[in-house]
Structure 1
Amino acid sequence: MTERIETDVLVIGSGPTGLTAANLLADYGVSVTLIERNPGSGDEPRAISATDETLRVMQRLGVMDVLAPEMLMDTGARYFGRGGKVIADVRPGAARLGQPGKSQFDQPVMEGALYEAAATRAAIDLHYATEAIRITEQQDSVTVSARRHGERTTGHNGALAGDQGLDTTIAADAPTHDLEITAQWVLACDGGKSFTRRELGVKLIGSTQVERWIVVDLLDVPGTPEPFASFHANGERPAVVVPGVKGRRRYEFMLFDHEDGEAMITPEVIAELVAPYQDISKVTVRRAAVYTAHQRVAESYRQGRILLAGDAAHLMPPFAGQGLNAGIRDAAGAAWRIAAHIKGAGTEALLDDYQLERRPHAAQMVKLSKLIGSVVMNTNPVITRLRDVIVPATRIVPPLNRWLTQMRFLKQPHYLNGTVYSDVSGVPPLAAELLGRSLPQPTVRVADSEHALDELLGTGWAWVDVAGHRKLVIETESGERTAAEDTAGVFEHAAGTVLLVRPDGYVAAVVPTLQRARALEGLAAKLPGLFAGAKLGN
């Protein structure tokens, strides 16, 4: 007999993007059903770099206490040219979102923490060992037919499965059970080989050229990890070395077209590849696999009431470290919009803004990743010699050198089209620069205690009134008002303005203090009733 489920939102896929979205949606007060074809959260170390924006989302979900001890925080990158000469040391600029600009993490640990968070949220119904097999769209809902393999399971933490002696395989002869899930919205986070994207007929746009890399993850590496990833752009076999905490380390080696992938990941070949960097005879090889890098973006992120997110929406090379981070941005950008629509607070135009904002930035990251790879990981002798001269020479042009060494080429999202009120008349120029960007998150003082600013913003919309003399007044949708001191003076340049902050932490409007109504009227076509009944003005 087919089991029938009704839910506000169906999330397909429980990787970092899907689990992040599910947790956020639950926190926004909607019911969530999550299905995942595997029996538990992931246990393979794939993505490895997290930005400050990703960690800010993790902070909001309450998992940083678990993640932080498992991360190498605040890291940079060191680039070596031909002959092993250092050609650049690169570090993110000063932290502005309350977390380090770049940190190294272990994906199974992150997925496990997000899984545990989802398992404790009553609004989330977890169905593992369950795969989507058919999608039927209605005018105001979507029905997904799914098939469970084996008994009903809410999954397990993949990072702990080995320690707990869990059998993580699904028996080939396991009985199957059919489900029919009807949801107001579907958020597809089902990876690069997305069933949903194929079922909808959404094309991938971009280069079909693929690059193969050997990925080797080690455990039990002795010593203190270096606070940077090493890019060995030697012009022969480019390699990347990424350290981690608790004895973790990753190596990535370019695989040439004529080489057989399976033959190149035998223990003997792996030992030979890693030998110039370390002896692996006394460490544990956690994984050795061939990774294929693509450079493609989905033609559309939305079809009706179905949204694509994460690798289902974009595939990019690893060189900018943005694949997972783009997925977390997708989850954050989609979740609050879906919740608003379900609650009657957001229109169809609000959902259209998801693609309008997220797709262009993801496409930029794909291009940037490809560009970094073509410069750093090139094997052409002419290009590599020229690169090794030009990059160090940027030191004689300080602005160019800062652009390179402070990773300013890695553009953060700046949404000037989408869910923003773009009229900044009467606003100081520096304050206007906050529009469409992620709100800075300094530590602020409330009475005799200090708080991260996000702790005061809540999970919904908020006003941040910059009153001058480092005084802030935060007002949430529920009407709660909190006076705080901006002890570091982060918002001094915005004195006399009020900032309208979205649930995802982006600034939707910057207007003079007494002109809140102007911003709300400008957003009314997408968010009718926002702060309805609140006393506007001071």
Structure 2
Amino acid sequence: MNNNRRDTGADRSTATAGDPVPAAGATDEDVYDVLVVGAGPVGLTTAIQLGARGRRVGLVERWPHPYPLPRAVVFDHEVARILASLGLADDLAAFSEPAADYEWRNGQGETLLRLAFEDTGHSGWPAMNIFTQPQLEAALEARARRTPGVEVLRGWEAVDLIEDTDGVRLTVAESAGDEPVIRDGMRGRRTLRAHYAVGCDGANSFVRSRMTTGVTDRGFQHDWLVLDVIPHDRDRVFAPRNLQVCDPSRPTTAVSGGPGRRRWEFMLLPGKSAAEFGSEQHAWRLLADWDLHPGNATLERHTVYTFRARWAENWREGRLLLAGDAAHQMPPFAGQGMCSGIRDAANLTWKLDLVLSGDADETLLDTYTTERSQHLRHALELSVFLGGIICEPDPAAAAVRDARMLADRRAGRDPLADLPPQTLTGGLLRQGADGAPQAPAGQLGCQGRVRFRGRTGLFDQIVGVGSFTLLATEDPRTLLHDGTSGWCERLGIRLVRVTGDTTADGPDDVIDLDGTYRAHLERCGQQALLLRPDHYVFGGTPRTEEVSGLLSALRRGLGTSSGAAVPAR
């Protein structure tokens, strides 16, 4: 069995039934499988993952050069795993560091909440990581440009988008980012064709403007002054490393901004003048309380940002899809803004690939909104909950909050315990007779250190990424029916036996060096787990003889058993 079919980048972009018809006068250079609008972290991740699956991708970005200043500063263990799967495993340490801690204090300096993060999280990477976004984007763009099939079109602005029965037609015009490029009195234009267009183009998304979806606003809105600072003394210790000051007289964030950097955020209080709030002089006045001034620090960036909580109701309409800030925005207090966008890409890309190859019905794309929107709501509600703690300007209400949280802390009660679990509750998951997912379906799969075919390391880097994976306590090849085996071969499903026997040397034996997978299977009460390409559990079985039934459930869920390409509409 070729278990690496979806890892090789083999060109599968020549399937005929769903191919777009080139526009009159278009060249082959203008025809793609997927167009991605927006080359931030989400758009780059989307393009790389599609390109790695053999898809031809046009990545359109109106700015000729990447944005050089920091924005997002946090990614979690799951996103670290996704970034590593793109080929950045060896690069992460250059621009990120473990977050270590996150402490919330009131105006009197009392600790209301303290979160300590594990050095090794559920996905095999530190639970929370602080990073520098320009360096991440540079690494992602370099990877995208090295990925066969991906064409990065910087300096081209999307100006028209039409969907028809054959695909989408995107018109792009030369752009300097904030103004058009005029040559000989004219603005250069190109017409691009593809099966699908994915809008990763931010809160003011052009692609979303071409959709009819409504937007739900949670009603959370506050203006904050965001400051990125480079202290000249790189050995200066900030303890805790990441701090929220829940002081009604000046709600403040003071966190790491990645190696060698710090970030401060200050809330604009009700009734205060916004005229000078975002000025550099005001920034230095605020930083003076932290013993920072132009003599010992560089103010890299200062901007006023409005924190909001809202999301698009539909992330797919026909051939148009949304991801990242184009689909949702949230306050930064849980560090899940960019993380949610990269999860969008991880969820969407393998589904697009299966639909384009004819191995899944187009209805699979409807599970994208189902799965990601409810998962997004968990992150957004957590962000709003935490924002409600810190953004309280009323001293009396803040005193009530402090008393409650201090009592919870003394009693050992977790203020986050009542939030819903971060688990998929619908979509492409194995369902029971009642139509609900059967646990552990929808849970995020773990990652541990393994030995496979003589190599040792984390599972993804040693065994591979990009395909469905069946983990079983017995040789899964002996558990499949003949028909199921052939289908697995065509779909590229990876079949492995998880074992603690360090002498095992079968071609599909994965030695579980730290017992990570065996402990996970035991906790779930399963003998086999079927993992999706985005690392979420499709389903499991407590009996190895039911593995074929598990795979058959996936086959039904994909909606087609034929190998022919399925028309996109």
Question: Normalising to structure 1: TM-score of the pair?
Answer: 0.86
Q: Is the deviation greater in 439-448 or in 16-25?
A: 439-448
- Alpha-carbon distance, 1:221 to partner: 4.0
Q: Does 1:503 align with 2:533?
A: yes
Determine the structure 2 residue equivalent to 1:329: 343
1:210 aligns with one of 221, 235, 249: 221
Q: Is the deviation greater in 131-140 or in 116-125?
A: 131-140
Q: Does 1:417 align with 2:426?
A: yes
Query: Are the equivalent residues in 1 in contact too, given 2:311–2:328 (CA < 8 A)?
Result: yes
- Alpha-carbon distance, 1:530 to partner: 7.5
Query: Are the equivalent residues in 1 in contact too, given 2:73–2:133 (CA < 8 A)?
Result: yes
CA displacement, residues 112-148 of structure 1 (integer Å, 9 cap, x when unaligned)? 1111100111210111111111111112411111112
CA distance in 1, matches of 2:467, 2:562: 11
Look up the SS of the partner of 2:171 in the other structure: strand
User: CA 1:360–1:33 in structure 2 vs 1: closer, same or farther (change >3 Å)?
Assistant: same
1:278 aligns with one of 269, 285, 291: 291
| CA root-mean-square deviation | 2.8
Determine the structure 1 residue equivalent to 2:468: 461
Amino acid at match of 2:549: R
Q: Is the deviation greater in 449-458 or in 506-515?
A: 449-458
Amino acid at match of 1:263: E
CA displacement, residues 242-292 of structure 1 (integer Å, 9 cap, x when unaligned)? 124442111000013444445222232111111112222221111110001
Determine the structure 2 residue equivalent to 1:295: 309
User: CA 1:395–1:506 in structure 2 vs 1: closer, same or farther (change >3 Å)?
Assistant: same
Q: Is the deviation greater in 31-40 or in 193-202?
A: 193-202
1:45 aligns with one of 47, 60, 70: 70
Query: Are the equivalent residues in 2 in contact too, given 1:188–1:307 (CA < 8 A)?
Result: yes
CA distance in 2, matches of 1:126, 1:483: 39
CA distance in 1, matches of 2:129, 2:254: 14
Unaligned runs of 5+ in 1: 151-167, 426-431, 469-473, 533-538
1:78 aligns with one of 103, 122, 127: 103
- Alpha-carbon distance, 1:210 to partner: 2.4
User: CA 1:137–1:525 in structure 2 vs 1: closer, same or farther (change >3 Å)?
Assistant: farther
CA displacement, residues 314-354 of structure 1 (integer Å, 9 cap, x when unaligned)? 01111111111110110101111001111111112211100
CA displacement, residues 41-65 of structure 1 (integer Å, 9 cap, x when unaligned)? 2222111111111111011011132
CA displacement, residues 424-459 of structure 1 (integer Å, 9 cap, x when unaligned)? 99xxxxxx7532122100112336542211231432
CA distance in 1, matches of 2:92, 2:238: 17
Amino acid at match of 1:124: V
User: CA 1:117–1:148 in structure 2 vs 1: closer, same or farther (change >3 Å)?
Assistant: same
User: CA 1:53–1:421 in structure 2 vs 1: closer, same or farther (change >3 Å)?
Assistant: same
- Alpha-carbon distance, 1:231 to partner: 0.3
Query: Are the equivalent residues in 2 in contact too, given 1:3–1:178 (CA < 8 A)?
Result: no
2:493 aligns with one of 473, 477, 483: 477
Q: Does 1:129 align with 2:155?
A: yes
- Alpha-carbon distance, 1:179 to partner: 1.2
Determine the structure 2 residue equivalent to 1:87: 112
Q: Please show how residues 367-378 of structure 1 align to structure 2 within 5 Å.
A: 367-378=381-392
Q: Does 1:119 align with 2:145?
A: yes
Query: Are the equivalent residues in 1 in contact too, given 2:180–2:187 (CA < 8 A)?
Result: no
- Alpha-carbon distance, 1:531 to partner: 12
Look up the SS of the partner of 2:33 in the other structure: strand
Q: Please show how residues 337-356 of structure 1 align to structure 2 within 5 Å.
A: 337-356=351-370
Q: Does 1:489 align with 2:500?
A: no
CA displacement, residues 453-491 of structure 1 (integer Å, 9 cap, x when unaligned)? 1231432111111349xxxxx996267852122232222
Unaligned runs of 5+ in 2: 1-23, 476-487, 497-506, 564-569
Look up the SS of the partner of 1:357 in the other structure: helix
Q: Please show how residues 146-157 of structure 1 align to structure 2 within 5 Å.
A: 146-149=172-175
Query: Are the equivalent residues in 2 in contact too, given 1:82–1:384 (CA < 8 A)?
Result: no
Amino acid at match of 1:508: F
Look up the SS of the partner of 1:275 in the other structure: helix
Determine the structure 2 residue equivalent to 1:450: 456
Instruction: Give identity over the alignment, percent.
Output: 28
CA distance in 2, matches of 1:531, 1:143: 29
Q: Is the deviation greater in 492-501 or in 7-16?
A: 492-501
Determine the structure 1 residue equivalent to 2:443: 437
Q: Is the deviation greater in 477-486 or in 228-237?
A: 477-486
CA distance in 2, matches of 1:170, 1:247: 34
Determine the structure 1 residue equivalent to 2:10: none
Q: Is the deviation greater in 292-301 or in 38-47?
A: 38-47
Query: Are the equivalent residues in 2 in contact too, given 1:349–1:526 (CA < 8 A)?
Result: no
Question: Normalising to structure 2: TM-score of the pair?
Answer: 0.82
Q: Does 1:143 align with 2:169?
A: yes
Q: Please show how residues 235-314 of structure 1 align to structure 2 within 5 Å.
A: 235-281=248-294, 282-314=296-328
Determine the structure 2 residue equivalent to 1:359: 373
CA distance in 1, matches of 2:350, 2:101: 32
Look up the SS of the partner of 1:525 in the other structure: helix
Amino acid at match of 1:462: T
Q: How many residues align?
A: 500
Determine the structure 2 residue equivalent to 1:522: 553
CA distance in 2, matches of 1:265, 1:296: 24
Query: Are the equivalent residues in 2 in contact too, given 1:465–1:513 (CA < 8 A)?
Result: yes
CA displacement, residues 385-411 of structure 1 (integer Å, 9 cap, x when unaligned)? 12222223224443x23xx4xx66776
CA distance in 2, matches of 1:90, 1:483: 38
Amino acid at match of 1:384: A
CA distance in 2, matches of 1:454, 1:209: 38
Look up the SS of the partner of 2:98 in the other structure: coil
User: CA 1:370–1:452 in structure 2 vs 1: closer, same or farther (change >3 Å)?
Assistant: same
Determine the structure 2 residue equivalent to 1:28: 53
1:100 aligns with one of 120, 126, 141: 126
Look up the SS of the partner of 2:300 in the other structure: strand
- Alpha-carbon distance, 1:199 to partner: 2.0
Amino acid at match of 2:71: R
CA distance in 2, matches of 1:245, 1:196: 32
- Alpha-carbon distance, 1:381 to partner: 1.4
CA distance in 2, matches of 1:40, 1:424: 53
CA distance in 2, matches of 1:22, 1:247: 30
CA displacement, residues 91-117 of structure 1 (integer Å, 9 cap, x when unaligned)? 245611111111111111111111110
Query: Are the equivalent residues in 1 in contact too, given 2:226–2:263 (CA < 8 A)?
Result: yes
CA distance in 2, matches of 1:526, 1:422: 10
CA displacement, residues 169-199 of structure 1 (integer Å, 9 cap, x when unaligned)? 8776455211111111111100001011112
Q: Is the deviation greater in 31-40 or in 85-94?
A: 85-94
Look up the SS of the partner of 1:504 in the other structure: coil
CA displacement, residues 404-424 of structure 1 (integer Å, 9 cap, x when unaligned)? 4xx667766412311111349
Look up the SS of the partner of 1:251 in the other structure: strand
CA distance in 2, matches of 1:2, 1:258: 59
1:386 aligns with one of 400, 415, 419: 400
Q: Is the deviation greater in 228-237 or in 66-75?
A: 66-75
